[in-house]
Amino acid sequence: MINASYPATRLRRTRATGWSRAMHRETVLTPADLIWPLFVTDGSNVEEPVTSLPGVSRWSVDGIAKRAKEAVDLGIPCIALFPNTQPEKRSDDGAEALNPDNLMCRAIKAVRDACGSDIGILTDVALDPYTSHGQDGLLDDRGYVVNDDTVAVLVDQAVNQADAGADIIAPSDMMDGRVKAIRMALEMNRHPTVQIMAYSAKYASAFYGPFRDAVGSGGLLKGDKKSYQMDPANGDEALREIAFDIAEGADSVMVKPGLAYLDVIWRAKQEFHVPVFAYQVSGEYALIEAGAAAGVGDRDALLMEKLVAFKRAGCSGVLTYHAPRAAELLNG
């Protein structure tokens, strides 16, 4: 331990000028640290603003391809796709998730055609965008989300997306054992290089409301998701979930939401030394926008400070709806 004393040590010396602050900065954020979530909707040349997410829209497949090109130009390495499935294509068993011509698969192919291998495509694996009841899995007669039968469908959904050209499969369902099952299926179906980014510590959070509006499941949800998403009071349990997913073949893990769980991010990075990502979820994004609109602070300063906090806590990257604006600021 160094016994520093004043005035031999003045900690303000290195903060006195902009060049010095830049030179001594411990945490560096770049566009390569960002993943841009995008919502896909049906139709052609469609942009549908999401009311509860100011500045965020649903885009038809052609629009998604244009956003992907924009991401490449900004230096954002990866986009994450989420479909807003039409109500008539939703069902109790979420069968549309297995359709090789569904919205997700068409968007994947459009992005691949537009950008080639210049951008990564991350796809969500869960049934809530496809079920008529808004839950992430199949229900039994009691309305309980059953685990193993759901995993069997998730495996087929993951392979369907990999066949379409997905680079990263991101199971967000929180079913036990799904990472191992998906990893084995990807290997067996000649997708050994497709990554798995597991939503390993996904909490039953109050911050998901705008997202559910964006994918059209908010008004459909019957009950809650507390029987499979994690209790916000638990941190040790998150480390157990992460350990299981790593052992089952996850290439990286995610903590969701982000800002309220920086301690979990830090602990995961210190414990496992694997790539840890955070999802700055829709409610977190919306609070920044609402706060800036109310004059709480400068929008750009607020969003950048929070993104740096994720990196400082140990994140390899952040999924954020602010990705394009953050990239613009970082690019000067």
| 138 secondary structure, DSSP code | -
Q: Are 308 and 33 in contact (CB under 8 A)?
A: no
Residue 223 region, left (φ>0) first, then alpha (ψ -120 to 50), else beta?
left
Can you say how many angstroms the Cα of residue 230 is from the centroid of all Cα atoms in its chain?
16
Catalytic-residue membership of 69: no
Q: Annotated catalytic residue: which of 225, 256, 306, 311?
A: 256
d(CA 83, CA 90): 12
Angle subtended at Cα 124 by Cα 119 and Cα 129, rounded to the nearest 5 degrees = 130
Number of neighbours of residue 243 by Cβ within 10 angstroms: 15
Which residue shows structure tokens 């694996």?
125
Q: Annotated catalytic residue: which of 69, 109, 180, 202?
A: 202
CA torsion 138→98→35→266, rounded to 10°? Answer: 30
Catalytic-residue membership of 202: yes
d(CA 157, CA 102): 11
Active-site amino acid positions: 202, 256
